[in-house]
Amino acid sequence: MMEVGNEGRLSFLGTLIIIENQKIVFDGYHKTTFSGRFLNFHSHHPLCHKKGVIIGMVDKIILLSHPRFHQKNLINAVNIFLNNGYSIQFIFSTMEKRIKYHINKSREVHVNLHTHIKDKFFTVPYVKTIFESFSSISMRFRCKLAYRGEPLSPTIPNTLKSFIKKGKDQLELLSNQNVVYKISCDDCEASYVGKTKRNLKTRLHEHISDINKKTGSSTVVTDHRVNYNHSFNWKDVKILDNEPSYNKRLISEMVHIKR
């Protein structure tokens, strides 16, 4: 179906195309059905995701609309984010940094490709109030952080992964490898969190074998069994995370231990 303009104006993909004096200029455009709903500030998402929503809006205004429409569109954006729970200080500070970024970018000379350093990214599971503090650490190592929810019990809901069914049949629980797992005590509230790159079944057999040998092993599971004569629930072991990378698996283990 062909789009038809009216009085030299044509809306297309969130932009308004305007023909003036034989020139084409662009402005932002919302349909009458536009709800104004974006990621709410009080939702359980990383702060960087919320900044990203504002940054995306600023980029769209700066890059896809004529400079004479920038002020109008930025004011509209501020009102939209206020209605989605964002504080005026958070909106202004994020917008100011992004606008300065575009101003500086327009003044840059061509970058020498031989001196360009490739960006490094590091993915970590998201835990609210903990991983916001990782930003300063990542900056120290010139590394960008990317957050993700846990694959088996997502902390970030409504992702495509939670709706799209995988083509392959899932492995039996104890056949999984590269996992962070949790064993709960049957007699108290204690639990043990560990990691393994091998089949989970193999690692659990090692725990049971250490307990049966009574060799005075220093493992937490054996100590708890020997010191308190408590039993562990081996039939209800939970997988907390699947992570092929050893370093990331180590971090995931530490995070779940701290919970």
Domains contained in the chain, CATH given:
9-106 (no CATH), 117-158 (no CATH), 173-256 (3.40.1440)
Locus of tokens 């999984």: 176
Residue 15 to residue 22: CA distance in whole angstroms: 18
Q: For residue 158, what pLDDT is reported?
A: 54
Residue 182 to residue 173: CA distance in whole angstroms: 12
Mean pLDDT by 10 residues, the chain (259 residues): 68 80 83 86 88 91 87 90 92 90 71 58 69 71 68 50 59 86 91 92 89 70 86 90 90 86
Q: For residue 118, what pLDDT is reported?
A: 66
Model pTM score: 0.46
Of 181, 192, 203, 199, which Cα lies nearest the Cα of 249?
A: 181
Six-digit token pair at 235?
């039939």
Alpha helices of the chain — where are they, by DSSP H?
A: 47-64, 70-83, 88-107, 134-140, 160-163, 200-213, 220-228, 246-258
